[in-house]
Amino acid sequence: MSAAERPDPAVPAFPAATLTVDLPAIVANFALLAKRAAPAPLAAVVKADAYGLGAVPVALALKQAGCTCFFVAELSEAITLLPHIGAGCDLYVLNGLRPGAEEACADLGAVPVLNALDQAERWSALAGDRGTRLPAAIQVDSGMSRLGMTSEDVDALLDRPEILGRLRPLLLMSHFACADDPAAATNGQQIARFRAISARFPAMARSLANSAGIFLGDEARFDLARAGIALYGGTPQEGRDGEMARVVDLRVPIIQVRELPAGAGLGYGLTGAAERARRIATVATGYADGWPRRLGNVGSGFVGGVRVPIVGRISMDSMMFDVTGLPDTAVAPGAMVELLGPNQGIDDVARDAETIAYEILTQLGRRYVRRYITLPPPAG
């Protein structure tokens, strides 16, 4: 860097919009969930780039904390992740085995979740060709009707023992549709159906519970639990607010402040007019950064712990807050607005936006500076 390029230390650098991911908090959530799931071990679901938080750093932190089993949705995600987590871990691909992907999946050493009979046939055929038993999970549909073998598929699979005979069937799994609602009668029905199907595969380990399922009691636990959202600080089930450690923090700088006369609308459509004069602060974060457009005139930020409402519609690259009454220094350009932090979590934002915390996390944009709070180095 030449002298001309070097920042002047007397001029403080303008702060960047910063997303901080607390890896020790993820590890703490893993430990809490593992305790709940015990004696069943706990797997980490790191699909969709670990719900938007970074699959590689998240999986490495969890591996350091003792997690040896991971789930992604897509083979492409396994291709990115497996070289980092390396041997000694199982990495399952939830969305199944697409035609033509068999060789790549086997070469990689990822474990496909076989969701239909043809997937089992193709995987088994490749195992036959290679003269080896390839590892597999089998997903059965216990009532959600999304992915997994139907009862006809299961009958056909068991009628042809040579298919499974060429495989190393590691896990029989299914997925809850309503585990977030502990009162849903369908939870018990899915458990009973899964139990009945699993009796036909007596040698296989069984897995049914996601984060919410872990809180449904002993019946739902089986031999492996698969946690996603609760690792990342989401409330796993109705009524369990505040049980998980907070993982994400998002702070964005004010880039402009203006005084707005009474009656003036603001932003696209000139919505959100008020009868009083206001002070308005604009930040450079918008729906392109994953902040839901639905939060226009509805959502909030926090400045120094004080709630500031979003006013006007949210633009692609910016949005505005009513900061009337806050001290000048607290709302000058460069001052930070908390979008996610101690005052407002992912479930709060999801509620305001009429969506779920999963969507808030997975939409977090690519323009934030991303910081990771890291684990202490492994002992020894």
Ligand X SMILES: *Cc1c(COP(=O)(O)O)cnc(C)c1O
Is residue 226 a contact residue for ligand X (CB under 6 A)?
A: yes
Region of 248 please: left (phi>0), alpha (psi -120 to 50) or beta: beta
DSSP 303-332: ETTEEEEEES---SS-EEEE-TTS-GGGGS
By CB under 6 A, tell whether 40 contacts ligand X.
no
Question: Which is nearer to ligand X, 59 or 281 (by Cβ)?
Answer: 59
Considering only residues 59, 78, 94, 111, which one is a binding residue for ligand X as defined by CB under 6 A?
Answer: 94
* Identified binder of ligand X from the candidate list 36, 175, 251, 278, rule CB under 6 A: 175
- Identity of the residue, 234 or 299, whose beta carbon is nearer to ligand X in the bound complex: 234
- Please report how close the Cβ of residue 7 comes to ligand X at its closest, in angstroms: 42
Tell me which residue has its CB nearest to ligand X: 228
Distance, CA of 101 to CA of 98 (rounded, Å): 6
Stretch that binds ligand X, among 206-214, 256-264, 273-281, 300-308 (CB under 6 A): 206-214
* Site membership for ligand X, residue 45 (CB under 6 A): yes
Binds ligand X (CB under 6 A): choice among 44, 50, 82, 229: 229
Q: Which residues contact 233 (CB under 8 A, 6 or more apart)?
A: 25, 26, 29, 244, 245, 246, 247, 248, 345, 346
Residue 47 is a catalytic residue: yes
319 CB burial (10 A radius; 0-12, 13-18, 19+): buried
Interaction between residue 227 and ligand X (CB under 6 A): yes
Interface segment toward ligand X; rule CB under 6 A; list 130-138, 154-162, 225-233, 346-354? 225-233
CA 236 to chain centre: 12
Q: Does 36 bind ligand X (CB under 6 A)?
A: no
Rounded distance, CA 273 to CA 265, Å? 4
Q: What Cα–Cα distance (Å) separates residue 33 from each residue in 28, 210, 214?
A: 9, 10, 7
Binding site for ligand X (CB under 6 A): 45, 47, 94, 175, 210-212, 226-230
Q: Which residues are catalytic?
A: 47, 268
